[in-house]
C-alpha cells in the first residue's frame, strides 16, 4: 500500500573524486529499540491519539512514519508492523526519495526488548526494488511514551532514522 509520504529502503553509494565515480549498492539497516513483548495474543490497537504503552508499542497494523539518512540523502520512510509474536516482529520498510523519484519496499524481521526499549530489525526480501538500491537494517530506541523511535540505519553511507507512530 503506497502512502502519501514517500519511503526509501535502500541506498546508492557513490564515491566522489577525480574521474568517474563508481556506484555501489549497499543495504540500509534500521534498528529500533523497544522493550520485549509478553507472550500471548496481540492486543487491539489503541484508540486514535492514545499513547502506546512503551512496553508494547508495536501492534499489528501500526504504521510508523519519518525519515532516514543514507548516501542518497534524506529519504521518507514508512514502517508498517505486519506480525507480532511475543518479542518477534515482522514489518515492511517502505521508502521514497523525492529528489530522485526512487521508491521501494522490503520485508524486515527482528526483535523488540521492552526492558531496554530497543528494537532491532534485519532486512528480508525485496517486495518492490528500485534499480541500484540495497536493503538496510535498523537499530533503534523507543521513547518512554511509546510514540517515537530513533536510531541508526545500518548500511554503507547511512546515518540516523527517526519515526513517529501514526495517529499519535
Phi-psi region of 61 (alpha: psi -120 to 50; beta: other; left: phi over 0): left
* Helix-, strand-, coil-residue percentages of the chain, each rounded to 5: 0, 55, 45
Residue position matching grid coordinates 519515526: 163
pLDDT in tens, 60-73: 999 999 999 999 99
Statement: the pTM of the whole predicted model exceeds 0.75: no
**Which overall architecture, per CATH, does domain 10-15+23-165 show?**
Beta Barrel (2.40)
> 86 falls in which pLDDT band (50, 70, 90)?
confident
Supply the DSSP string of 49-67, one letter for each residue. Answer: TPPPPTTS---TT-EEEEE
Spatial distance between the Cα atoms of 67 and 73, rounded to a whole number of angstroms: 10
> 105 falls in which pLDDT band (50, 70, 90)?
very high
pLDDT in tens, 31-70: 333 344 444 444 444 444 444 555 679 999 999 999 999 9
Amino acid at each position: 500500500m503506497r502512502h502519501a509520504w514517500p519511503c526509501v529502503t535502500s541506498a546508492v553509494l557513490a564515491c566522489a573524486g577525480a574521474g568517474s565515480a563508481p556506484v555501489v549498492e549497499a543495504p540500509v539497516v534500521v534498528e529500533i529499540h523497544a522493550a520485549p513483548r509478553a507472550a500471548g495474543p496481540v492486543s487491539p490497537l489503541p484508540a486514535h491519539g492514545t499513547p502506546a504503552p512503551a512496553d508494547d508499542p508495536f501492534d499489528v497494523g501500526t504504521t510508523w512514519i519519518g525519515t532516514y539518512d543514507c548516501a542518497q540523502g534524506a529519504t521518507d520512510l514508512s514502517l508498517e508492523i505486519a506480525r507480532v509474536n511475543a518479542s518477534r516482529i515482522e514489518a515492511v520498510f517502505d521508502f521514497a526519495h523525492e529528489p530522485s523519484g526512487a521508491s521501494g519496499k522490503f520485508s524486515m524481521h527482528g526483535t523488540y526488548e521492552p526492558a531496554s526499549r530497543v528494537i532491532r530489525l534485519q532486512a528480508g526480501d525485496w517486495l518492490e526494488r528500485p534499480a541500484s538500491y540495497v536493503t538496510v537494517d535498523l537499530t533503534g530506541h523507543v521513547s518512554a511514551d511509546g510514540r517515537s523511535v530513533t536510531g541508526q540505519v545500518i548500511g554503507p553511507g547511512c546515518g540516523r532514522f527517526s519515526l513517529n507512530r501514526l495517529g499519535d
